[in-house]
């Protein structure tokens, strides 16, 4: 066996089925699309849940403070709703995605020392999906509660 035949035999790989030039690029693109796109979508979904969580905590806390420190009891609910709207706007969440409930465990929120409990529920939509007819795609609902002592 001559040296040229030997080098040709060594260059041949067992199981080599022919010219596969360029197939690694196609495999990379397909695997990237199949694996990377769902991972990025999952990260976006988890991020939107985290944003809603931070927003609901801040909104509930500020609403309870605004309700508890209102000088006029008639204005306390509107102050709390305004605080929720402002806190949600800081996180680019529409106020229509939130439900606010204000409770006074003692039955009254008008006297000093009464507890004011505010719960804010934020509905998190599925990322990149819009509402289709009557179907509203919801990923989760995040809820936060805050309690403050009324003082004037």
Q: What is the pLDDT of residue 22?
A: 65
Mean pLDDT for all residues in the chain:
86
- Residue of 130, 132, 127, 119 whose CA lies nearest to 51: 127
Q: Is residue 1 part of a domain?
A: no
Decide: 146 and 117 in contact? Cβ < 8 Å.
Answer: yes
Q: Is residue 135 part of a domain?
A: yes
Q: What is the pLDDT of residue 23?
A: 78
Decide: 69 and 94 in contact? Cβ < 8 Å.
Answer: no
Decide: 82 and 63 in contact? Cβ < 8 Å.
Answer: no
Residues 140-147: what's their mean pLDDT?
95
Decide: 138 and 124 in contact? Cβ < 8 Å.
Answer: yes
pTM of the model: 0.75
Whether residue 135 has pLDDT greater than 60: yes
Q: Is residue 56 part of a domain?
A: yes
Decide: 150 and 116 in contact? Cβ < 8 Å.
Answer: yes
Q: Is residue 47 part of a domain?
A: yes
Pairwise CA distance, residues 60 & 52, whole Å: 12
* Boundaries of domain holding 83: 24-149
Q: Is residue 30 part of a domain?
A: yes
**Which residues are within 8 A (CB) of 113 and not within 5 positions of it... i.e. 6 or more apart?**
149, 150, 151
Pairwise CA distance, residues 12 & 17, whole Å: 10
DSSP SS3 for 14: coil
For the segment 4-29, what is each residue's pLDDT rounded down to a tens digit? 776 666 666 655 555 566 678 888 88
Domain count, the chain: 1
Q: Is residue 74 part of a domain?
A: yes
Residues 83-112: what's their mean pLDDT?
90
Q: What is the pLDDT of residue 75?
A: 87
For the segment 31-74, what is each residue's pLDDT rounded down to a tens digit? 888 999 899 999 999 999 999 999 999 999 999 999 998 888 78
């Amino acid at each position: 066996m001559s040296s040229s035949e030997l080098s040709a035999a060594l260059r041949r790989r067992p199981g080599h089925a022919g010219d596969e030039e360029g197939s690694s690029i196609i495999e990379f693109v397909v695997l990237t699309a199949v694996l990377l796109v769902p991972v990025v979508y999952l990260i976006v979904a988890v991020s939107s849940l985290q944003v809603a969580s931070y927003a609901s905590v801040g909104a509930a806390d500020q609403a309870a403070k605004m309700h508890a420190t209102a000088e006029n009891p008639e204005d306390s609910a509107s102050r709390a709703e305004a605080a929720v709207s402002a806190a949600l706007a800081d996180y680019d969440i529409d106020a229509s995605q939130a439900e606010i409930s204000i409770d006074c465990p003692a039955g009254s929120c008008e006297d000093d020392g009464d507890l004011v409990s505010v719960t804010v529920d934020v509905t998190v939509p599925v990322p990149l999906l819009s509402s289709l007819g009557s179907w509203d795609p919801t990923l989760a609902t995040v809820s936060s509660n805050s309690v403050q002592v009324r003082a004037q």
